[in-house]
Amino acid sequence: MAEPSYFLVLLLFFCSLFLKSQSFDFVYNGFNGSDLVLDGYARIKDKALKLTDRSQNVIGHAFFPKPIPMFKNSSLDVSTFSTHFVFQIVPSDANRGGYGFAFILSPSTQLFGAQGGHYLGVLNPSNDGKSSNHLFIVEFDTVTGYNETSDRYGNHIGINVNGMNSIASESASYYKGTQKKEDVDLEEKEPIQAWIDYDGLAKQVNVTVSPLSVSKPIKPLISIFIDLSPVMKDYMYAGFSAATGEKKASSHYILGWSLKLNGFSDPLDVSQFSPIPAEQSSSSQNKLKRALIVTFSVVLFILLLALLSIFVYRKVMKFDVLEDWELDCPHRFRYKDLHVATRGFKESEIIGVGGFGTVYKGVLRATGAEVAVKKIISNDTLKGTREFAAEIESLGRLRHKHLVNLQGWCKNKSNLLLVYDYVPNGSLHSLLYSSKKGTVLSWEQRFNIIKGIASGLLYLHEEWEKVVIHRDVKSSNVLIDRNMNARLGDFGLARLYDHGQNSHTTNVVGTIGYIAPELTRTGKASKSTDVFAYGILLLEVACGRTPVVYQPDRNVILVDRILDCLQMSNIFDAVDPKLNSTYTIEEMELVLGLGLLCSHRKPEARPTMRQVIRYLNRDEILPVFDNLNSFGSKRADQIRSRFKALGLTDDSIITTSSIHSSSVGEMSSSSFEITGR
Ligand SMILES: *[C@@H]1O[C@H](CO)[C@@H](O)[C@H](O)[C@H]1NC(C)=O
Ligand SMILES: *[C@@H]1O[C@H](CO)[C@@H](O)[C@H](O)[C@H]1NC(C)=O
Ligand SMILES: *[C@@H]1O[C@H](CO)[C@@H](O)[C@H](O)[C@H]1NC(C)=O
Ligand SMILES: *[C@@H]1O[C@H](CO)[C@@H](O)[C@H](O)[C@H]1NC(C)=O
Mean per-residue pLDDT, 646-668: 36
pLDDT one-digit tens code per residue, 375-402: 877 665 555 556 667 777 777 888 899 9
Query: Cα separation of 257 and 232, whole Å?
Result: 21
Query: Which pLDDT band, with edges at 50, 70 and 90, does 317 fall under?
Result: low
Instruction: Tell me: pLDDT of 531 over 90.
Output: yes
Neighbours of 160 (CB within 10 A): 26
Cα 207 to averaged position of ligand 4 atoms, centre (Å)? 9
DSSP-based three-state secondary structure for 353: strand
From atom 12 of ligand 2, which residue's Cα is the shortest distance away? 73
Q: How far apart are CA 422 and CA 409, in angstroms?
A: 14
DSSP 3-state assignment of 27?
strand
Range with the lowest mean pLDDT among 211-225, 624-638, 653-667? 653-667
Phi, psi of 577 (to 5 degrees): -60, -20
155 and 185 in contact (C-beta within 8 Å)? yes
267 vs 399: CA distance, rounded Å: 107
d(CA 472, CA 190) in angstroms, rounded, equals: 95
| Residue 97 half-sphere exposure toward CB, CA atoms < 13 A | 22
Contact 626, 615 (CB under 8 A): no
CA 243 to chain centre: 45
Q: Which residues contact 368 (CB under 8 A, 6 or more apart)?
A: none
Question: Collapsing DSSP states into helix, strand and coil, what is residue 109?
Answer: coil
Query: 33 and 27 in contact (C-beta within 8 Å)?
Result: no
* Per-residue model confidence (pLDDT) at position 231: 94
Q: What is the pLDDT of residue 524?
A: 84
| CA–CA gap between residue 565 and residue 476 (Å, rounded) | 26
Q: Is 223 in the pocket of ligand 4 (CB under 6 A)?
A: yes
Q: Whose CA is nearest to atom 14 of ligand 4?
A: 197
Lowest pLDDT segment from 75-79, 387-391, 448-452, 654-658: 654-658
Active site includes 472? yes
Q: Distance from the CA of 31 to the center of ligand 1, in angstroms? A: 8
Neighbour tally for 1: CB within 10 Å: 5
Whether 617 shows a pLDDT value over 50: the answer reads yes
Query: Which amino acid is residue 160, in one-letter code?
Result: N
Output the pLDDT for position 285. 61
Distances (CA, A) of 425 to 1, 400, 445, 485: 154, 18, 13, 10
Q: What is the amino acid identity at position 285? A: Q
Give the pLDDT confidence of 234-288 residue by residue, as tens digits: 999 999 999 998 878 889 999 999 999 988 877 788 777 766 665 554 455 667 7
Contact 423, 480 (CB under 8 A): yes
In whole angstroms, what is the distance from residue 256 CA to residue 268 CA?
Answer: 7
What integer best gives the mean pLDDT of the chain? 79
Residue 445's closest CA among 587, 558, 596?
587
Give the model confidence (pLDDT) of 41-65 as tens digits: 999 988 899 999 888 889 999 999 9
- Cβ-in-10-Å burial (0-12, 13-18, 19+) of 324 comes to exposed
- Among 175, 204, 262, which is best to mutate for testing ligand 4, by the most ligand atoms less than 8 A from CB? 204
Please answer whether residues 159 and 201 qualify as being in contact, where contact means their C-beta atoms are separated by less than 8 angstroms. Answer: no
- Contact (CB, 8 A) for 75 and 201: no
Separation in Å, CA 56 to CA 186, 414, 673 = 19, 60, 82
| pLDDT given at position 91 | 85
Q: Is the pLDDT of residue 10 over 70?
A: no
pLDDT value of position 553? 77
d(CA 10, CA 168): 45
Q: Which ligand is nearest to the CA of 162?
A: 3
- pTM for the model stands at 0.46
Interval 473-494 mean pLDDT: 85
Higher pLDDT, 120 or 520: 120
Q: Give percent above pLDDT 90 in the chain.
A: 32
- Contact residues for 3 (Cβ-Cβ < 8 A; gap 6+): none
Tens digits of residue pLDDT in 157-205: 999 999 998 999 898 999 998 888 888 888 877 889 999 999 999 999 9
What is the band of 142 on the pLDDT scale with cuts at 50, 70, 90?
confident
Question: Does residue 17 surpass a pLDDT of 90?
Answer: no
Split at pLDDT 50, 70, 90, the class of 226 is very high
Q: Assign 508 a pLDDT band (cuts: 50, 70, 90).
A: low
Q: Is 375 annotated as a binding residue?
A: yes
Cβ neighbors of 661 (< 8 A, separation 6 or more) are: 557, 559, 560
- Best CA proximity match to 196, nearest among 308, 287, 284, 80: 80
* pLDDT score of 198: 95
Task: Please tell me the predicted confidence (pLDDT) of residue 644.
Answer: 47
At residue 369, the 3 state secondary structure works out as coil
Q: Mean pLDDT over residues 205-213, rounded?
A: 92
Q: State how far the Cα of 219 lies from the Cα of 466, in Å rounded to an integer.
A: 105
Q: Are 54 and 277 in contact (CB under 8 A)?
A: no
Predicted local confidence at residue 666, as pLDDT: 33
Does residue 468 carry a pLDDT above 60?
Answer: yes
Nearest-angstrom CA–CA distance, 207 and 209: 7
pLDDT(545) > 60: yes
pLDDT of residue 316: 57
Residue 444 pLDDT > 60, yes or no?
yes
Q: Is 199 in the pocket of ligand 4 (CB under 6 A)?
A: yes
pLDDT of 440 above 70: yes
Asked whether the beta carbons of 403 and 454 are under 8 A apart, the reply is no
**pLDDT at res. 426:** 85
- Answer whether residue 112 shows pLDDT above 70: yes
| Three-class secondary structure of residue 135 per DSSP | coil
Q: How far is the CA of 194 from the centre of ligand 4 (A)?
A: 15
pLDDT at 73: 67
Q: How far is the CA of 206 from the centre of ligand 4 (A)?
A: 6
pLDDT at 437: 65
Query: According to the model, what pLDDT value does residue 630 have?
Result: 40
The residues pairing with 181 across neighbouring beta strands, listed in sequence order, are 175
Closest ligand 4 atom to Cα of 198: 13
Output 546 or 495, whichever has higher pLDDT: 546
| Residue 634 pLDDT greater than 80, yes or no | no
- Indicate if the pLDDT at residue 230 is higher than 60: yes
Give strand pairing partners of 222: 207
Express each pLDDT in 550-601 by its tens digit. 877 778 888 888 888 877 768 888 898 888 888 988 899 899 889 988 988 8
Distance of alpha carbon 496 from the chain centroid: 34
Q: Tell me the percentage of the chain whose pLDDT exceeds 70.
A: 76
Q: What is the pLDDT of residue 635?
A: 42
Burial string for 441-468 (b: 16+ CB within 10 Å, else e) reads: bebebbbbbbbbbbbbbbbbbebbeeeb
Report the atom number in ligand 1 closest to the C-alpha of 31.
2
Return the amino acid letter for 345: F
- Set out the domains of the chain in order of their start, with CATH numbers: 21-269 (2.60.120.200), 324-421 (3.30.200.20), 428-671 (1.10.510.10)
Kindly name the residue from 151, 472, 490, 530 that is annotated as catalytic: 472
Q: Are 214 and 85 in contact (CB under 8 A)?
A: no
> Does position 324 have pLDDT exceeding 80, yes or no?
no
The answer to whether the CB of 430 is under 6 A from ligand 4 is no
